[in-house]
């Protein structure tokens, strides 16, 4: 899986606590192998984010993304549930 990042994702990722960044890198390895690995809790979003997806970094933090094709994704945002607002 090839991952691209949106500038918003990059800005917010830089501000994350180091422990969350470490967890995000760990989850990214699973994501690259299988975007629907049960450890990720990957799910479709609804409402204004219809057509987008998210997966869990941990119970509090998420990464919001979109599939560009079967082997490419764009990470759009990262953070707490506030990313859904």
| Model confidence pLDDT, tens digit, residues 55-79 | 999 999 999 999 999 999 999 999 9
Give the three-class secondary structure for 75.
strand
Please list the alpha-helical segments (H only) found in the chain: 7-14, 18-33
Confidence check: pLDDT of 83 > 90 = no
41 torsion bin: left (phi>0), alpha (psi -120 to 50), beta (else): left
Tokens 């993304």 appear where?
65
Q: Quickly state the pLDDT bin for 80 (edges 50, 70, 90).
A: very high
Number of H helices, E strands in the chain: 2, 5
- List domains and CATH numbers for the chain: 2-84 (3.30.2310.20)
**What pLDDT score was predicted for residue 82?**
82
What global pTM score does this model have?
A: 0.94
What angle (nearest 5°) sits at the alpha carbon of residue 10, between those of residues 40 and 16? 65
């Amino acid at each position: 899986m090839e991952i691209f990042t949106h500038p918003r994702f990059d800005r917010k990722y830089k501000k994350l606590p180091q422990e969350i960044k470490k967890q995000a890198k760990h989850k990214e390895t699973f994501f690259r192998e299988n975007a629907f690995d049960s450890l990720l809790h990957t799910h479709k979003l609804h409402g204004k984010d219809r057509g987008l997806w998210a997966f869990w970094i941990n119970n509090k933090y998420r990464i919001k993304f979109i599939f560009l094709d079967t082997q490419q994704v764009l990470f759009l945002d990262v953070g707490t549930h506030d990313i859904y607002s």
